[in-house]
Amino acid sequence: MSTPGTSSGAAMGSSNSKSISEGNVAKVENAEQDSQVVQSVLDLRALCRQFYTHCRNPLCNRVLRIDDDLEHIEEWRAGAKTIPPTSHLSAWACQQCKTATCVGCNYLPALNAKSLFTPLGVINHCCDLGRLFTIYFLLCRFDDSQIKPEKKSEPKSKPKKKTPVKGKGSAVPGIGYASGYESVAYGGWGGMMVDEIDDIDFPSEDAMYAYQFHSIMPKPFTPTDDEDKKEKDALMIETLRLIGPCLPDASSPALVESNLFRLGMFFDHVTDLIRNDSISDVTERAELYMELIDFVKAVADIPALAGLLFEERPEKSRSPGLRTLGNPVIQDASVPEISSTSRSASVFSSSKNIYEQVKVFLKLAAKKTLGGPSTQTPVNPLKKETMKLCESVLELHDYLKTRADAEASARPRRPVTLDEESDEYKEAEWAKFQEENRVTFTDEVLVAHRYTTEMANVKTSVAKNRLSTISKEIATLTTSLPAGIFLKIAESRSDVMKVMIVGSEGSPYAGGLFIFDIFLPAEYPLTPPKMAFVLDGNDSDTYSFNPNLHVGGGVCLSILNTWSGMPQEMWQPNKSTLLAVLVSVQAMILGAPFPWHNEPGHENEGESTQVKENKKVVQTKTIRHAMIAWKENTFDNSNAKEHIWEEISRKYFSHNRKKILAEVVEWVPDNKYLLEFSPNLPFPFGPKKGRHKIPSTSNVPPVNLVNKLATILCLPQPFPNPDSDDEDDPKKKKGLLGKLNSLKGKRKVSTEVDIAHHPKKQKSEDSNSFEQKWVYTGAVNQKESRAACKEFGIGAASSIKATIGKLEKHVNEKGKAAKPIMEKWGKMVYVEEPDLEASSAGSSFPGSFNMYSEAEEEDIPDHMTMAPWVD
């Protein structure tokens, strides 16, 4: 392994050079984009100068109020109900003399031979410039609607912050803890506490991750939100209906139209709607989406405009709107910044998600019955409007894909080859595999399922349109599930599922695979799903994986109604979704940086000793049960609950093995037990006495879990044991624990150690040389090590490693340190002097060679030797 300084320096050097290079390219690209934007704005202003904005009556010549959108639309509606129409969208009547003027040609509006019929009225263009003005007018009107709400959203005065009230109530909404110990809190699990440890009380500190919940949970719409959404949809429908008949002929170069669509916000909103990840939302807004699909098809049929559907566009979060950009009064050199460096996906690429959802939705809706051992639940047939919408979505995507494929095949392609063993190739393959296996269907889900009895008892559905709701949710999940979640659904029963979730980075679950069984009861979606944690190892020894993962598999979450949280945190009938449940489990349980904070009464405990110890326990359980156990599983038993996950688990470890091991190695400096783990360690690492905790009686030698994981992942061991060849010879056994085992019973160790009055060497009967030394046990970082040096009255060294070495040398050689300071920053241990350097060289943190303090060494179990693990 390379030294941290060297590898880090090399990485930093290459990263800097790369970032500088990319920065130069970005500057060039941004400069080109900026020049294009400037030219587009100048072209827009040139267009606006062609519009006639004064009354054509020479005796009047007053300025026309062409920005009065609402009144003009109403006047047009009044005259557009007859055939031929008596009004034009490009014509304005002077408020003074009432003379009508066409903004395009400055004449009395004349009827064109071609009239276009819409649900809102008959559209007739006096002239071509009048048609262009109509497009400009409608896009300005839409942009204004997008900008005004942002201005209104700024509060005039900041509301006073409410003083937080301490007491009952969940510190993290939606998670089942911190609300007391009522039996209702644990649903059907009888109020059982996971580890029944309620006698430890620590001072409260700030909660560590309460803020995360609000960023991942969907917020229910308030009445104001619903009204605002309906108003925006109504405006969008009206704009789509009016702007469609204004599009040019297929033979037109459409340069002006393309420029208007690129500068305005309308096409961005079209893309946002197409990108919708909720089939339920799409079907509820069917009228809007039918108009949207018709408009996109119309644009696709015009070759000069079709490119708009396949290009990425800069986001216009800083745009002042099309009306301001086109103001001809503004000097040409004054062009505001309208776009950020980030770019929005194209309409075509955005249509892929809803396309996949609709396919799954139609597949599920086509089933006549919900099969099962004793159930025949009829599926409600789709409404004609819904079926028509779904078919239109499929047709649109297929149509766009055909055009995209044709253009792609016409372009020359340069083959790109990647080394199959390279990290880039592995990441690309894994990303592709995740995309293809995010949601899959198989009746193997029904095998070894936790809710088999409940499934058999569901004969009728209490909730109206239950299966239709389930179908829509599943369709949404096919494109909305976050990375790291794999959902398998029974082919014959869409209400029965299994899910595998990868532990989140930054947590003691990182890299592990955790599995759950899910069942949607007959009352769903009026009641929440049933969910059980089914990974082996949760109940076997020490603490459970998480206080919210109970003995027996119960999952404690407010959104599952298994914890009595606030009303808004509980399951909201017909609003809460399975997606929200899965995201909550991934982020708030399997993403908790300190799982002990989920224990009732300890959510504000900060980083106390108990919190850190529990985190170490969870790390060891994750490696043993969520990593090693999967790799050791041969999947021979087709009736086992893990069998369904064979392909995904093997692919996962094959493509992510380096990343997984690197994550685990980072845990070692703060968790020395990963290098010398045994189930017979003292609690909390060994068995806990009491209910549901079975004490271990077997003598199991310590195992280096990190090396064992590396071996089964076919990677080099990060902490090799140099003495593995001598493991069968007791006299040749090296390592501290082996020596201490031979020393057992021959001398007692005083717990009152004054290093200044102890001889440096102690001789045992086998002539092995030992000494007692003080080792630093504080955090291995610059801040902590420097703080320790300050209290000991010495200066820090240039690196963390050197600082700790200097600190230990000072205490052990001088022997003048005060005992309280020594106990605060370290502890006394026995070490064998000849092996000290070798032991330290194989570890990335001080003191890793010894897992017992001086007090614990008086009674070291006979079985605790340094016998290495052998695969």
Look up residue 375 and give its amino acid.
T
Q: DSSP 3-state assignment of 487?
A: strand
Q: Structural domain boundaries of the chain?
A: 247-334+344-408, 434-665, 726-859
Residue with tokens 């062009």: 335
pLDDT over 90 at 21, yes or no: no
- Concerning whether 102 is annotated as a catalytic residue, the answer is no
Q: Check residue 387 and give its pLDDT.
A: 86
Catalytic residue among 94, 102, 140, 556: 556
Share of the chain above pLDDT 70, in %: 68
For residue 842, the tally of other CB atoms under 10 A from its CB is 16
pLDDT at 713: 94
- CA distances to 749, 783, 807, 854 from 818, rounded to whole Å, are 20, 21, 14, 18
Task: Dump pLDDT digits (tens) for 146-176.
Answer: 886 544 444 444 444 444 433 334 444 445 4
Closest CA to 709 of 653, 750, 761, 756: 653
pLDDT tens digit sequence for 532-570: 999 998 877 677 899 999 888 999 998 999 887 778 888
Alpha carbon distance 860, 481 (integer Å): 49
Q: How far apart are CA 742 and CA 761, in angstroms?
A: 17
Mean pLDDT of the chain: 75
**Closest to 357 measured CA to CA, from 483, 486, 494, 472:** 472
Sign of CA dihedral 731, 737, 742, 746: positive
Buried b (16+ CB within 10 A) or exposed e, 794-823: bebbeebbebbebbbebbbeeeebeeeebe
Strand ranges of the sheet holding 826-832, from the earlier edge strand across to the other edge:
762-763, 769-776, 826-832
User: How big is the chain, counted in residues?
Assistant: 871
Q: Answer yes or no: are the C-beta atoms of 175 and 598 closer than 8 Å.
A: yes
Q: Which CATH class is domain 434-665?
A: alpha beta
pTM comes to 0.62
Matching residue, tokens 């002097």 = 833
Q: Mean per-residue pLDDT for 776-794?
A: 85
pLDDT computed for residue 682 by the predictor: 58
Separation CA 842–CA 848 (nearest Å): 9
Residue type, 289: Y
What is the β-pairing status of strands 439-441 and 485-489? parallel
Q: Return the higher-pLDDT residue of 457 and 817.
A: 457
> Where are any strands of DSSP class E within 507-602?
513-519, 530-533
- Residue 209, pLDDT above cutoff 50: no
Tens of pLDDT, residues 746-766: 333 333 334 333 434 444 344
- Measured between alpha carbons, how far is residue 306 from residues 36, 254, 299, 303, 611 in Å? 20, 10, 6, 5, 59
What is the DSSP annotation of 146-209?
Answer: HHHHHHHTS-SSPPPPPPPPPSSS-SSTTBS-SS---GGGGGGGTT--SS---S--------SS
Query: CA–CA separation, 537 vs 512, rounded Å?
Result: 13
Q: Between these two residues, 292 and 19, which has the higher pLDDT value?
A: 292
User: What per-residue confidence (pLDDT) applies to 241?
Assistant: 94
User: pLDDT tens across 686-740, in order?
Assistant: 555 444 444 554 566 788 999 999 999 999 999 876 555 444 444 444 444 444 3
